[in-house]
Amino acid sequence: MIVNNIFSRILFGILASCCLLACRGELPVLPSDEIEVGKDPLGGVHIKGMYLLNEGNMGSNKCTLDFYDSTTGKYHRNIYAERNPSVVKELGDVGNDLQIYGDKLYAVINCSNFIEVMDVETAQHLGQIDVVNCRYITFSNGKAYVSSYAGPVGIDPNARPGKVVEVDTTNLAITREVVVGYQPEEMVIKDGKLYVANIGDSRLYVINRDIRQITRDHSLVAEMVRIGEVNEADARIHPDKNIITRAIGAGEDVQADFFEVDLQENDRILLCTDGLTNMVEDDKIRDIILSDAPLEERAKLLVSTANRNGGRDNITVMIIEPFSYEVKAC
Domain boundary among 165, 181, 197: 181
Taking 50 as the threshold, does the pLDDT of residue 19 lie above it?
Answer: no
Instruction: Give how far the C-alpha of residue 109 lies from the chain's centroid of Cα atoms, to the nearest Å.
Output: 11
Q: Are residues 170 and 197 in the same domain?
A: no
Which distant-in-sequence residues (6+ apart) come within 8 Å of 194 by Cβ? 188, 206, 214, 259, 260, 261, 263, 269, 322
Q: Are residues 133 and 166 in the same domain?
A: yes
Q: What is the pLDDT of residues 131-177, one digit of tens each?
A: 999 999 998 889 999 999 887 776 666 777 788 899 999 999 999 88
Strand order through the sheet with 143-148: 134-140, 143-148, 162-168, 173-181
- Residues 119, 39 within the same domain: yes
| Mean predicted lDDT score pLDDT of the chain | 82
Tell whether the model's pLDDT for residue 18 goes beyond 50. Answer: no
- Residue range of the domain that includes 316: 189-216+258-329
CATH number at residue 273: 3.60.40.10
Residue 184 and residue 163: Cα distance in Å, rounded? 7
Distance between CA atoms of residues 217 and 321, nearest Å: 23
pLDDT number for residue 10: 38
Residues 123 and 211 in one domain: no
CA 64 to chain centre: 20
Are 136 and 200 within one domain? no
82 falls within a domain:
yes
Asked if the structure places residue 316 within a domain, the reply is yes
Residues 76-85: pLDDT tens digits? 999 999 999 8
What is d(CA 186, CA 285) in angstroms, rounded to the nearest whole number?
Answer: 25
| 88 or 203, greater pLDDT | 203
Both 161 and 292 in a single domain? Answer: no
Q: Do the domain assignments include residue 4?
A: no
Residue 7 is assigned to a structural domain of this protein? no
Mean pLDDT of 51-58: 90
Considering the domain architecture, whether residues 262 and 318 belong to the same structural domain is answered as yes
pLDDT band at 220, cuts 50/70/90?
confident
Partners of 34 in beta bridges: 76
d(CA 286, CA 275): 16
Rounded to two decimals, the pTM is 0.58
Q: Which residues of 117-145 are buried (b: 16+ CB within 10 A; e: fewer)?
A: bbebeebebeeebebebbbbbbbeeebbb
Q: Give the CATH number for residue 144.
A: 2.130.10.10
pLDDT tens for each residue of 249-295: 667 777 888 888 888 888 999 999 888 988 999 999 999 999 999 88
Number of domains in the chain: 2
Residue 8 placed within a domain: no
In a domain, 250, yes or no: no
Question: Edge-to-edge, what's the strand order for the sheet holding 188-190?
Answer: 188-190, 193-198, 257-262
